[in-house]
Chains A and B, each alone.
Chain A
């Protein structure tokens, strides 16, 4: 089965090893949840995977990486800057084309923030900003999603909506989550990270929440 192979992943901070060395194989069609307590190295691992995958992955980092001065539309549009020539992008900055406006609008509607399309992201709440970063990742249409706590600022129903959307839109995903129930519900494989190593790697169907809690 085709998929993604990662070998010899390592990362150090100030000479201290925080990740690995570890190897990972992710099959196409898998939705992987990375779980583990904070500081276990989930964010670092997501970064490492993004560096390896680059053109094949959309990334939602924990800091979101939004351009605060730009409106929501342009932040989402940035996901496809590589598909248009420079003049097209420059014109879009001044006056977006109809086609792009409609696509982005539909996407924002799905995430229930259509009315925010022309508002600078600096003026949005934490949950709304998170959804803008999610929209940008979806808009990029990469085959793999890498997300670092993408629902941390969202309330219950919205969190479910976003997880459903993300797992529908991306055939393969690797998502760092601290919410164990969410991980079990929307992902089909759970990888537990402890001290920079894989401490658990099972199909979600064979686990219950208490199995994972031992990691925390």
Chain B
């Protein structure tokens, strides 16, 4: 078995994760974790949809921010995709997408304040980097033959419109609508940094122990995402896009003095601001590295590796839930519901809830990341097994699982997992805002202490870490000859 490179790679990652568990801080610190969890589930079971009108407003704002942000992101991403063959454009896109929406929001909050622009840009900027990459991959995969057959002298715009776009349109549409769903999740969690979306409402209900309100919010969010294909229709889309900017709310006006100060003073490293020169700068940078960056990087990597393997285990356990090869229609339907819930709940919200119930440690983060990402990969793999035709006399039960199905889907399972590696790391860093000692924790505390120069350095380090893991993931996928598709 160990002669397979895929199996060897799996066990290496498993060993790293087990090593990580030894040094990780995994604990339940609250006095009555199960009682709290019970109260939370009771809240979800007895949702209160009518406590305040704030809930509906928050829902509306969530949708509006998602629409405006994703629309701008896809347009900008489309333009960037046209120039994606130029290295500077590729580097720029890799950079903006390696910084999480919440970090962008934290940055913009410092100078735009609680203006709608903060939320819109926080979604639009990283999304345009992602769109640029995926659109350009779609363009590259399109059939080049029609373009080669065009009469010489055809304008490049005409050639693009006829020979490229129609061939890619379906894929572009599918991917963009998938991203809209992601945009709704991003928009919801922007509430955790104070924007008027669902996360804000959830956090305030939770802190007051109003679990029924929080339950109502979660249920509405699931319904919103599950019914997406019903209410987002091609014909209605222009209407939504035009209307969305009017439902962002007013927020607070932008103080332009803040914007100027942010760029000319706040983010300049303190020693340069105080005229201490390069010597002061290197001492300052060393201090940031030793006291904040290195512990943050270490914890981020440890948590990422544990969460990655946990995600893999959850995926392998979860895919039979929706596979045609096991159980009856009732089991499969409930399996679908479970996986939809797991993958539509943003990991940030899951982590927040678990953190409230179990107290601060790496455990809630690992469980949240594994549930969310495992739900996504389990869903994709389960769907893939439905296309497999087994011979009529094939074994059933666990033998079927372990001998017939897992070996057939294992390669694509690994491909998805390594594809999500970078996403898991980006989320791990951001979960620090909730109080786990990953990079996000140090970014958040630097901002709280009004040391934006430090925060910017830490955000840059986080971005570089993400770019590095992305490259490593791609290298491993290539080495193991694994293929992926984008919507995962």
Chain A residues within CB distance 8 Å of chain B: 54-55, 59, 61, 63, 65-70, 74, 78-86, 89-90, 93, 136, 140, 142
Contact = CB atoms under 8 A, between A and B. Distances in A.
In this complex, which of A61, A67, A79 has the most chain B Cβ atoms within 10 angstroms of its Cβ? A67
A69 B166 contact: yes
Interface in B279-311: none
Contact of B162 (A59, A63, A78, A142): A78
B152 A67 contact: no
18 contacts: A55-B151, A65-B146, A65-B148, A67-B167, A68-B167, A69-B166, A69-B170, A74-B162, A78-B162, A78-B163, A79-B151, A81-B151, A85-B155, A86-B155, A86-B157, A86-B158, A89-B162, A93-B162
A85 B156 CA distance: 11
B161 interface: yes
Nearest to A60: B149
A82 B150 contact: yes
B153 interface: yes
Contacts of B166: 67, 69-70, 74
Interface string B329-359: 0000000000000000000000000000000
> Which secondary structure dominates chain A's binding surface?
helix
In this complex, which of B150, B169, B170 has the most chain A Cβ atoms within 10 angstroms of its Cβ? B150
B53 interface: no
A142 to B, nearest CB: 8
Q: Kindly state the interface size class of chain B when it binds its partner.
A: 20 to 34
Nearest to A64: B145
Interface of B: 143, 145-146, 148-155, 157-159, 161-163, 166-167, 169-170
Contacts of A136: 149
B169 A81 contact: no
Contact of B145 (A63, A74, A83): A63
Given A70-B166, A79-B151, A82-B153, A89 B146 contact: no
Given A55-B151, A67-B163, A78-B150, A90 B158 contact: yes
B158 to A, nearest CB: 4
A81 B162 contact: yes
In this complex, which of A74, A82, A93, A140 has the most chain B Cβ atoms within 10 angstroms of its Cβ? A82
B154 A90 contact: no
A55 B158 contact: no
B146 A81 contact: no
A194 to B, nearest CB: 28
Contacts of A142: 151
A70 B162 CA distance: 8
Given A61-B145, A67-B146, A78-B150, A89 B163 contact: no
B167 A69 contact: yes
A136 B163 CA distance: 13
Nearest to B147: A65
Contacts of B149: 59, 61, 65, 78, 136
